[in-house]
Amino acid sequence: MRKRGNEQIWVVVRVQRGFVTEISAYAEQAAARRTERSWRRKMNPDYDETGLSSVIVNSHRSMARAT
């Protein structure tokens, strides 16, 4: 069971031709980086972009809770 409090998650965003087409969240940075690398291999560098960011989630305030 996870401890309660602040948790760090990794969010990967995919933008194709100026529109956000996919967002994925991961508990581990390595998994998020693998997804970003996979997207970058298939993207058109002139029009598309990906981004990776860490986010701190306060599990006491979030609406979705793990059971």
Indicate whether 33 belongs to any domain: yes
- pTM as predicted: 0.76
Q: Which of 37, 14, 39, 12 is nearest to 26 (CA)?
A: 12
Tell me if 9 sits within 8 A of 55, measured CB to CB. Answer: yes
Indicate whether 66 belongs to any domain: no
**Helix count and strand count (H, E) for the chain:** 1, 3
User: pLDDT tens digits for 38-57?
Assistant: 999 999 999 999 999 999 98
Tally of structural domains, the chain: 1
Indicate whether 63 belongs to any domain: no
* Parts of the chain with a pLDDT under 50: 1
Indicate whether 23 belongs to any domain: yes
Which range of residues forms the domain containing residue 27? 6-58
Indicate whether 25 belongs to any domain: yes
Task: Please report the pLDDT score of residue 1 as a whole number.
Answer: 42
